[in-house]
Amino acid sequence: MTETLKLSKKIFIKGKIFVKTGIHIGGSSLGLQIGGADKVVVRNPLTSLPYIPGSSLKGKLRSLLEKSLGLITITPKQDQKGEWEGRLCADPEQDVVQLFGSPADISADSGMVNSAPTRLTVRDAPLLNEEKLAVAENTDMYCTEIKTEVNIDRLTSAANPRNFERVPAGAEFGLDMVVDIYNIDEEGENKRAESFIDLMRQGLTLLEDDYLGGQGTRGYGQVEFAIDSVTERTADDYRSGNEGRPSLFQEKFSAFMN
């Protein structure tokens, strides 16, 4: 039986990401000047401002959710003792897969067929408080700090210093995510729309207790979320030119709202 796929609505989740400890999401090291950092952060090439890539935020949310739900299967690498690898969940029956999409390396002949397009879009998060960081007395590069870490050789005691560029604690970034809801998500016994929003709430909560970016186990990347609005716009709204309205799902994010 053929089923028609139709967009029902778009849910917009907007807010802020507050950096609690210095965050490092790596960028290109090309063009570094002498005295700069060994590991730099990603920056907008036009404004030179650091930002949080949507891919980094989306990937971390998915990883944490799959771990919390027990959906990651680990297998030992061939001929490498003690090393393991874990693939993203590709089971189309799982709401996480329907929300975040199927892994790109799943081929058509594998038997894994996703029943709908990826629902979740995560925008790049721009820096919101450039003025505060730009005039800070103790920043080392524009809007960022340099953190020096020293690796000590256990046998020779030789020191190997490395400089990491970090966006400092106190930085604020814009949060902008969109969840597409289709007719198949609101019909039948398994209504997935509410499950998708529950997963978003769970993911943000998990991330607050984890870290974003690199070097997190050494204190980097603690963040906090504040949701300013949860609105929706239906397919009919787009056809008639109507604006969006507050979503009934807004109460799901009450813990993140002022």
Q: What is the pLDDT of residue 137?
A: 83
Q: What is the pLDDT of residue 113?
A: 54
The lowest-confidence range among 29-33, 80-84, 140-144, 249-253 is: 29-33
For residue 207, what are the CA distances in angstroms to 42, 73, 186, 202? 20, 21, 28, 9
Q: What is the pLDDT of residue 171?
A: 97
Q: pTM higher than 0.85, yes or no?
A: yes
Computed over every residue of the chain, the mean pLDDT equals 86
Give the alpha-carbon dihedral of 223, 224, 228, 229, to 10 degrees: 80
Mean pLDDT, range 187-195, rounded to an integer? 80
Residue 245 has pLDDT above 60, yes or no: yes
Q: What is the pLDDT of residue 115?
A: 52
Spell out the residues 6+ positions from residue 30 whose beta carbon is closer than 8 angstroms to its own: none
Q: What is the pLDDT of residue 190?
A: 64
Phi, psi values for residue 241, rounded to 5°: 80, 15
For residue 18, what are the CA distances in angstroms to 174, 225, 227? 9, 6, 11
Paired strand residues for 56: none
pLDDT in tens, 112-168: 555 568 999 999 999 999 999 998 888 888 999 998 877 777 777 677 778 889 999
Phi, psi values for residue 11, rounded to 5°: -105, 125
pLDDT in tens, 34-85: 455 668 999 999 999 999 999 999 999 999 999 999 988 777 666 666 566 6
